[in-house]
Amino acid sequence: MNSLKIPITVNENKNEKTPSNQLVFGTKFTDHMFIADYTEGQGWHDHRIVPYQPITLDPSASILHYGQTVFEGMKAYLSEDGIVRLFRPEENMKRMNNSCDRLSMPQIDEEFALDALKQLIELDKEWVPAEPGTSLYIRPFMIATEAHLGVSASKTYSFIIIMSPVGSYYKEGIHPVKILVENEYVRAVAGGTGTAKTAGNYASSLKAQEVADREGYSQVLWLDGIERKYIEEVGSMNVFFKIDGEVVTPALNGSILDGITRKSIISLLKHWGVPVTERKVSMEEIREAYLNGKLDEAFGTGTAAVISPIGELRWKGELFYVNNGETGELSQKLYDALTGIQKGTVEDPFGWVVEVK
Amino acid sequence: MNSLKIPITVNENKNEKTPSNQLVFGTKFTDHMFIADYTEGQGWHDHRIVPYQPITLDPSASILHYGQTVFEGMKAYLSEDGIVRLFRPEENMKRMNNSCDRLSMPQIDEEFALDALKQLIELDKEWVPAEPGTSLYIRPFMIATEAHLGVSASKTYSFIIIMSPVGSYYKEGIHPVKILVENEYVRAVAGGTGTAKTAGNYASSLKAQEVADREGYSQVLWLDGIERKYIEEVGSMNVFFKIDGEVVTPALNGSILDGITRKSIISLLKHWGVPVTERKVSMEEIREAYLNGKLDEAFGTGTAAVISPIGELRWKGELFYVNNGETGELSQKLYDALTGIQKGTVEDPFGWVVEVK
């Protein structure tokens, strides 16, 4: 679908903008959205940029019953030089296609989708906030739209991109959060959908999150669903630990998400000469490192929060205070480097940043 | 919400009915639907019966991204005496609330929901098909509607009931189907959402189904996600085996669905004095029973198909022909008894059947 021009219907009733310092994550959207429709046998068609507007679905549409949907999360940043930058957007489009494969959904043309996104950002450029810590959060997603209650892959889909100006994901910002290690609920196992960015993984996580909330914790730390020993993710982020000077993170094992922030951090650490290993990490290992005074830092990583330091972990009634509950030196350095590259204020030695227009 | 009258907006443009012998599962819907809305702090409100019509959602609605949704499947049958009957509908409403709990969604008033369903059926009574093998399939479902991209439980929901006149779920009808034992993909594990009727379980299953289709199999048989040894479900049904005169079915283990057809079959078998056991069943046990000539019958059970005999199983390249690929005596007897009770042509010693009005 690469050579097509995208018809644009301009929104004549501009949405009112929220001041940058009052932005809440994912509640306010820009003036326009991108849509393309897919029909089996015909492929993608009717690409269009239209005013941000409700979606109309038959009550029997697959997405509402059988959860055939995938999404991505990415951000655009406005720098002082007035340039809007995207961070490794081609990685998001590639991962979206991997998710689509797992969910028996059609592939998108990654290059065209990125081009459509750039056109959408260009049109809604005034929505990209400028203040430190703010960005334009971008949500490409695909939903199954066929009106049919049989359990089978839908014959029709819509691919949609919406955008939302955001402040920090967590109200704590870069401040450390308290994490509850989850022993009852499981996020995913190998053979399931854990590696895909799909609705079911998130739906499954809400109950544990609810329990954590009640006990005063921001997020849960997920353990593997088989032995309930090994660390998987934290909330909806990948997780890293600095133990005795070495950085470790759970290896991609068929049940955790191949995070773009995760892989960027591994590259940054290697670039800096900091030892970093992808391997199995057990909670018992974390406990021992803590008791021996070797658990230096812990943090979650993801597009929404970038780096989310962990200040406290609770596991089976035991409390571990990481780095005295403060943001660690490496966590801060990684946050500054990554957000600096994203904002265009720090040199990008990797070619990660893509300028819009 | 029990004492409220339900406002009805009549559909002035009746849908055209499909002849009973041309019905396809879940593609045609009746003239009306029931809707109620939920708002945090306010509870359920705006209950209404309206013409069957599209649903309008903000593109950021939770259901489209994080899969917060549950559903039920039930059937209404028209007998020769002109009475419409439901089969254990209170069990569906109860299970829906269990699913809601797992998905951090609000509870429904089960009694009121059943009353609303009866009113809806009464209004669309002429849509209940009469021919043998046909019924009115009923789909109550709840979706998260809040326009918010943060990963948290929605603050607003809609509870909807739609209805569809159906023939047999499988084009094979009560004829035996070929089943592929799935070794790569996993449906659910304990701690996940396997016991809830929620979208993610079905989304996760499509890929394996796609592979099975390509190889000429109707459904997959799911093994446990931990040891990949024990039998869980078949497609989206519970599964039973008759081995050496005894009927066995996987015990409720925290990852399989507590099927209403499943529990009805267990009751029927006990009523008949047929030995039936709920326990772990391994594929190795099935293989050995087959090789020793003791695998008498195998069948899936669910609301949509009622009884779906298994004529062939493929596991790791080995083929097991169950009962020479023919419908077993017990499978047929269970199908006749259950559909007879549902239709009102066979005595119902359990009080399972509920007359509409």
Q: Which structure tokens are listed for A306?
A: 């970038």
SS3 B211: helix
Q: Are A195 and A255 in contact (CB under 8 A)?
A: yes
Chain A and chain B share a number of CB contacts under 8 A equal to 223
Structure tokens of B153?
A: 């439980």
| CB spacing of A206 vs B26 below 8 angstroms | no
Residue A188 has pLDDT above 70, yes or no: yes
pLDDT, chain A, mean: 95
Query: Tens digit of pLDDT for each residue in A154-165?
Result: 999 999 999 999
Give the chain B residue whose CA is nearest to the CA of A185.
Answer: B191
pLDDT at A25: 87
How does pLDDT run across A22-35, given as a tens digit for each residue?
A: 888 899 999 999 99
A209 lies within 8 A of chain B by CB: yes
Q: Which two tokens stand for residue A200?
A: 């079911």
pLDDT at A18: 87
Does the pLDDT value for residue B156 go beyond 70?
yes
- Which of A54, A102, A205 has its CB closest to that of B207? A102
Residues 89-108 of A with CB under 8 A from B: 101-104
Q: Is the CB of A186 less than 8 angstroms away from the CB of B190?
A: yes
Say whether residue A40 is in contact with chain B using an 8 A CB cutoff.
no
**CA of B273, closest CA in chain A: separation in Å?**
35
* Chain A interface test: which of B53, B64, B171 (most A C-beta within 10 Å): B64
Percent share of chain B, pLDDT over 70: 97
- Position B341 pLDDT exceeds 80: yes
CB proximity B83 to A under 8 Å: no
pLDDT above 80 (res B179): yes
Q: Is the predicted pLDDT of residue B155 greater than 60, yes or no?
A: yes
Diameter of chain A measured on Cα atoms = 63
CATH topology of domain B177-343: D-amino Acid Aminotransferase; Chain A, domain 2 (3.20.10)
Tallying the residues shown for chain B, one arrives at 357
The shortest C-alpha distance from B340 to chain A (Å) reads 24
| Average pLDDT value for residue range B221-245 | 96
d(CA B334, CA B91): 20
How remote is the C-alpha of B196 from its chain's centroid? 11
pLDDT of A170 reads 59
Q: By CB neighbour count within 10 A (0-12 exposed, 13-18 middle, 19+ buried), where does B2 fall?
A: exposed
Q: Smallest Cβ distance to B64: which of A52, A69, A193? A: A69
- Banded model confidence at residue A171, pLDDT cuts 50, 70, 90: low
Question: What are the tens digits of pLDDT across the range A235-284?
Answer: 999 999 999 999 999 999 999 999 999 999 999 999 999 999 999 999 99
Structure confidence at residue A1 (pLDDT): 45
Chain B residues within 8 A of A203 when measuring between CB atoms: 66-69, 103, 193, 198-200
E-strand stretches of chain A = 32-39, 43-51, 55-57, 69-71, 74-78, 84-87, 135-144, 156-166, 177-181, 219-223, 231-234, 238-243, 246-250, 276-279, 295-302, 306-315, 318-321, 353-355
pLDDT at A182 over 80: yes
Rounded mean pLDDT, B133-148: 96
What are the φ and ψ backbone dihedral angles of B343, each rounded to 5 degrees?
-80, -15
Report A:278-337 residues touching B (Cβ under 8 A): none
Which token pair is B82? 């002109």
Q: Which residues of chain A are within 8 Å of residue B205 when distances are taken between CB atoms? A: 151
* Cβ atoms of B49 and B120 closer than 8 Å: yes
Architecture of domain B20-166: 2-Layer Sandwich (3.30)
User: Taking 90 as the threshold, does the pLDDT of residue B2 lie above it?
Assistant: no
Q: Tell me how close the Cα of A237 comes to any Cα of chain B, in angstroms.
A: 11
| Chosen from A30, A34, A64 to mutate, greatest number of chain B CBs within 10 A | A64
B204 → closest Cβ in A59, A148, A193: A193
For chain A, give every residue range classified as CATH 3.20.10.10: 177-343
- Closest to B89 (Cα-Cα) out of B223, B264, B266: B264
Contact A274/B at CB under 8 A: no
State residue B133's pLDDT score: 84
Q: How far is B271 from chain A (nearest CA, A)?
A: 33
Query: Best mutation site among A102, A170, A201, A206 for testing chain B: the one with the most B CBs within 10 Å?
Result: A206
Chain A touched by B57 (CB under 8 Å): yes
Are A87 and A339 in contact by the 8 Å Cβ rule? The answer is no
- For residue A71, the chain B residue with the least C-alpha distance is B65
The whole-number pLDDT of residue B1 equals: 45
Which residues, at least 6 apart from B50, have a Cβ–Cβ distance to it below 8 Å?
B8, B9, B32, B33, B35
State percent of chain B over pLDDT 90: 90
What residues of B are in contact with residue A205 (Cβ under 8 Å)?
Answer: 151
- Whether B303 has a pLDDT exceeding 50, the answer reads yes
CB contact under 8 A, B104 and A160: no
| Cβ pair B88, B72 in contact under 8 A | no
**Mean pLDDT across B195-221:** 95
Instruction: Give the residue among A346, A270, A307 at the shortest CA–CA distance from A77.
Output: A346
Residue B120 has pLDDT above 70, yes or no: yes
Reported ipTM: the value is 0.96
What is the predicted pLDDT for the residue at A231? 98
Residue B282 is which amino acid? Answer: S
Helix (H) or strand (E) holding B335: helix B329-343
Nearest chain B CA: its distance from A68 CA (Å):
5
Q: How confident is the model at residue B274 (pLDDT cuts 50, 70, 90)?
A: very high
Cβ within 8 Å, pair B202-A65:
yes
- Per the CB < 8 A criterion, the answer to whether A251 and A278 are in contact is yes
Cβ distance of A60 and B150 shorter than 8 Å: no
Is the pLDDT at A173 greater than 80? The verdict is no
Asked if residue B149 lies in contact with residue A169, where contact means CB atoms within 8 angstroms, the answer is no
Q: How many helices (H) and strands (E) does chain B have?
A: 7, 18
On whether any CB of chain B is under 8 Å from the CB of A202, the answer is yes
CA angle A117, A122, A126 (to 5 degrees): 120
Give ranges for CATH 3.30.470.10 in chain B. Answer: 20-166
- Beta carbons of A109 and A1 less than 8 angstroms apart: yes
Is B192 in contact with A190 (Cβ distance < 8 A)? no
What is the pLDDT at residue B259? Answer: 98
Residue A169: the pLDDT is 65
Mean pLDDT, residues B152-160 taken together: 97
Q: What is the pLDDT of residue A317?
A: 94
The per-residue pLDDT for range A47-60, each reduced to its tens digit, is 999 999 999 999 99
Cross-chain residue pair A58–B55, CB shorter than 8 Å:
yes
